Amino acid sequence: YYELIFRILGRSINDKEIKELLLAYLANMSNESALIRRSSAACIIIICRYSRYPMVIARFLMTNAIDQLLEHHNENDSTRLIIGYLGLIKNLIQLLGINIEEFQSSSINIQQPLNTSKNIDSNEQYLPISIRQIIECVDIVCYICLQHNDHNVVSSSLETLEIILKYSNLFDFDQLLISTQTGSIEETRVSQGLKTTYPTYQRSFIEINEQQDILLNKMNDELDSTSTINNEKRTSAAKFVEQLISKYILNMDGTIKSDDESRVSIKCATLTCLSYLSTIDPFAFFDSFDYPTEIITYLLSLREHGDPHLRGACANLLAKVIQTTVHLLTISPPISSLSNSFNNSFINQCSLVSIDSQESSRLDIQLGILAELLSTFRLCLNDNNARVIHVSLNALRTLLPVLLTNSHALTIIAIELLEDSIQHSTSSYVLAKVALAQLIGEIDFRILTYLEQQQQLKKTNRSWLDRCIDIILQFLTDEDTRVRQVAASTFAKFVDHSSFLPCQWPIHYLLKWINSSCQWIQKIHHSLQQSNTSVIISNDEVQCETISCLSTLIFDRLAQASTRIQIVGCLEGICALLNVLTPKTIRSFFHNQYDELRLLIHFFKHPFILHDLNNLQLLLDILNLIFSNLSNSTNDMGDIQSAEKVFHFLIKILSIFACVVDDTSPPNPQTSKINFSPIPASPQQIKKRFESSTNDSSNLKI
């Protein structure tokens, strides 16, 4: 309720009251209760979010947090205070990252102090938060992360650093991290204060003198052509990578640190930070100043760790590094001329088995490493632990589109990974099935269908769209509500992400195949394509064809459903599908004059619907979506009797509810004066009725 209150009252509270509230909550940052610290930080963020000048409040809070951390960072009895303020910085950066555009637009009109007697901080003169505060924040957080001895403080600092790196585009901070210009990141009061206190302090950002020393050492060592950076300047992001890895992941000989030296939770948080750094500077993982070979090759051994959480974090890092590596190889000028050698050295008979490259060039090294990364990621995807599989499937959601839209070799690998993924449709782990349904929802099957046709990537006679729809329809009958909800959402995404018909053909052919499956539709399409290749229709009509196919498939399952879960799952899929339809496309949802609508109304009598208020509400929501779209459609409502029947049923329900409220006996049921035609019980009957009506209409035309 706190957020609801401030959403309404936040902008009417003056600066003095805001300051008093903030100071009251900031006093709780050192409370011994973790719950109180987190709750106070959440309240502070809400106040900042809904205040009149959130950027100014954010600057005040960031400055206050940095001052407290700088003052108490080396005090052993200030652990709770450090954790509390690290949590506050994490929430504050996340708030800014999500709402920065809105906050900046609201701060444009700030030209002068509002009222000097009510200033938040008279020294700041109502300046908004800027890149300088972000740099100061990173300075102190990195120092605590790398130097503090308490593992709880280290974990909190890594979580904070993770959010900073996640929103590294905030004030273009990521551009500073990858800049190779000396002096691009200026000194701050935090770095100066730490250097004064600790003469041996080394900043996490690249310094001018340090940059010169690096280049001098590289020239003195006379690095050969195998160097992957070719005397380029190292970035601050690369330095971040090596500091984190050498501190918490690897020993100097390249072996993994033991769990006694570095806790599993800290290793997992470190890998998450590294995954975000890989998107900022991927070159940092292909060279090392502290290790003999590329850093990423040492990290692959984390795949063999006994803890599933760490293997899952490794899978997530691998997916990020693969994405950035593929991007680098795509934009590299030599990549087009090395397509043949790329295919040969990268995969062996589409099994992700790499062949060791004998070339010493930078590109060949990257290709070899990429092969190892993909091979290791595939092992994560086929792990024997359900949690690792769940994380790997989530990571594949962003990786798969990158592979599908790239070279032929990467496309084959993407198909192999997708083949491995759908094997988990029978997993007993709920979150693995949820992740698989979400993965299917992210796939653009129009691209996949094109690749199937052009490159003949199918290993079975069934198309990928057919197989994936079967999986989603299977998930719609799952016992777990979470699986059914995600499956319903994915089923609706097929409207925009799929095309049952690779080439466009008239919709009236589709209506003859009421009970056909995806494969049936594909076969009919190919026969029609050969006989009539000149048919061209609009994209809206193509989408209507897809809607018609999806409607056919889901109603076929609904007619065959026999258990409560099966019926409810199909209704949830229908409801999700109707939510993405418009008055222009709603007509494609029906066949043969609203037979689907009459079939839905028939379920009012079903005991699984009539005796369960949640299911009854779901069915009424479906009918509401249908009638609202039909009422806004340019087509006339062709089935008035269905609307009258729904209205008649609602009157009965309301009369029953009235009797329940009044605690009276219900009246004797009266027979309806409206005569209805019999409701078809299955799609086969719908098909027969449709064919008979089609024949009648064709005879009339003749």
Mean pLDDT of 362-384: 84
Residues 432 and 469 in one domain: no
pTM above 0.85, yes or no: no
- On whether residue 224 sits in a domain, the answer given is no
Residues 410 and 520 in one domain: no
Mean pLDDT of 654-667: 65
Q: C-alpha distances in angstroms, 7 versus 13, 50, 335?
A: 11, 6, 53
Residues 273 and 193 in one domain: no
Residues 406 and 554 in one domain: no
User: For the domain that residue 239 is a member of, what is the CATH number?
Assistant: 1.25.10
- On whether residue 227 sits in a domain, the answer given is no
The residue that leads in pLDDT, 339 or 291, is: 291
| pLDDT of 699 strictly over 70 | no
> Among 291-295, 523-527, 694-698, where is mean pLDDT lowest?
523-527
- On whether residue 218 sits in a domain, the answer given is no
Check: CB of residue 73 under 8 Å from CB of residue 143.
yes
pLDDT digits (tens, 9 = 90+) for 219-242: 444 434 344 444 356 788 888 888
Residues 274 and 420 in one domain: yes
What is the predicted pLDDT for the residue at 701? 46
Mean pLDDT of 299-304: 88
Residues 12 and 151 in one domain: yes
Q: Show the tokens assigned to 447.
A: 């691209």
Mean pLDDT of 148-170: 91
Mean pLDDT of 251-255: 84
| pLDDT of 253 strictly over 50 | yes
What is the predicted pLDDT for the residue at 681? 47
Question: Longest Cα pair distance anywhere in the chain, in angstroms?
Answer: 101
Confidence at 27, pLDDT banded by 50, 70, 90:
very high
- On whether residue 220 sits in a domain, the answer given is no
Residues 175 and 292 in one domain: no
- On whether residue 228 sits in a domain, the answer given is no
Q: b/e string for 380-398 if b means 16 or more Cβ within 10 A? A: bbebebbbbbbbbbbbbbe
> Among 75-79, 83-87, 164-168, 671-675, where is mean pLDDT lowest?
671-675
Range of the domain at 590: 459-702
- Helix 445-455 with 464-475: angle, nearest 10 deg: 140
Confidence at 84, pLDDT banded by 50, 70, 90:
very high
Confidence at 73, pLDDT banded by 50, 70, 90:
confident
Residues 602 and 481 in one domain: yes
What is the predicted pLDDT for the residue at 514? 32
Residues 287 and 372 in one domain: yes
Total structural domains within the chain: 3
Three-state DSSP class for 249? coil
Mean pLDDT of 185-189: 82
Tell me which of 443, 470, 493 is where a domain ends: 443
Number of H helices, E strands in the chain: 31, 0
What is the predicted pLDDT for the residue at 575? 92
What is the predicted pLDDT for the residue at 127? 64
